[in-house]
Amino acid sequence: MPEPSQHTHAAKPAEPDYAGLVRFLVAPFLELPESLKVDCEISPNRSKVWVRVAFEGTDKGRVFGRGGRNIQAIRSVLEAAARAAGSTAYLDVFGSSPQSSEDGSDREDVASKPPPRRSSSVKEAPKLRSRSAPPDELET
């Protein structure tokens, strides 16, 4: 019968290659994959990870996907990898937009403007025709 293992403590999982993972997930969406820039910052206690990606603004639609599905899937995979290592991951997307923010960064504003408000004016009821009156006797 095999002897039980002598290990009394669980081994800490290896730190994932966050930059490599994000590069692997984002590059297929890009027209020029070599334009992808990835920066990874890990907190000193290794509890938080910030991954920043930048690419050409023309690729933004493909990377984000319809309704943001692609970027949300990429974030989910990144967060799952971080959770497996006992960390929390955050993904920031930067783009090459012609306008820069006040602090000099080229970060894309992902918040959209609110939808236009409906006018509260009361509409006039449509005029109904009488079935018994001929069309030339109707008021317009």
Q: What is the pTM of this model?
A: 0.60
How far, rounded to the nearest angstrom, does the alpha carbon of residue 91 sit from its chain's CA centroid?
9
pLDDT in the model for residue 103:
39
For the range 37-42, what are the long-range contacts, defined as Cβ-Cβ under 8 Å and sequence gap of 24 or more? 42/15, 42/18, 42/87
- 60: tokens are 């933004």
- The one-letter amino acid code at 34 reads E
> Residue 29: how many CB atoms within 10 A of its CB?
19
Domain boundaries 18-95, corresponding CATH code: 3.30.300.20
Find out whether 82 and 16 touch, Cβ atoms under 8 Å: yes
Least confident of 12-16, 40-44, 72-76, 78-82: 12-16
Q: Report which of residues 46 and 118 the model is more confident about.
A: 46
With tokens 């334009």, the residue in question is 35
pLDDT band at 14 (very low <50, low <70, confident <90, very high): confident
pLDDT in the model for residue 91:
96
pLDDT digit string (tens) for 66-120?
999 999 999 999 999 999 999 999 999 987 554 333 334 444 444 445 555 656 6
Q: What percent of the chain has pLDDT over 70?
A: 61
